Structure 1
């Protein structure tokens, strides 16, 4: 009977080991696909932002798509997440600066136009 228990235990242990390997491969595949999607998203956002008159919204920053649980990530993932947050902050600052630049450009063009219009002196 002891041999049967050992055999059953060993068989179950092999089953669990195969299942763990299978899950690890799946998780690694999903992680790779996730990273590829983030890269494609980043490239698409950069292409949209590179357009001279980008009327399209580039979408939320990459950091928006990161998993919430920091404990689920390794050191490299935490560093990537921090860099993505920094990038998102810089992108929002750039967007704000572009909007301010557009307002300033528009107001200076108005002033130039108004300066060209002759003013009549009231006598």
Structure 2
């Protein structure tokens, strides 16, 4: 077999593999893992949420998180779940607040999801 026949087969195989490999679109729906419940409780009690940049705080940068809507009949991910995830990330990073929470539905077929709800927020420390 010549290189002219092998090369297209290799390229086609690589392309097809990329279409069927499941990526990671984040946790499914609105569930929280049992081992994260304590951190989530603390984050909900201590992290403030502002609409815009709070005065007197120092920015720690922007963080992102994802939630996957994998099963069509299951409850889809919510903005509240994304906000909770962002608060937990802020808590883990030593932040005191988040602001500018934004969410966006993005295609999720490459992540084995119907869609992915992606959220971002800026983290702040007093």
TM tier relative to shorter chain: under 0.3
The structure with the larger Rg is 1
In terms of fraction of residues, the more strand-rich structure is 2
In terms of fraction of residues, the more helix-rich structure is 1
TM-score by length of 1: 0.28
TM-score by length of 2: 0.27
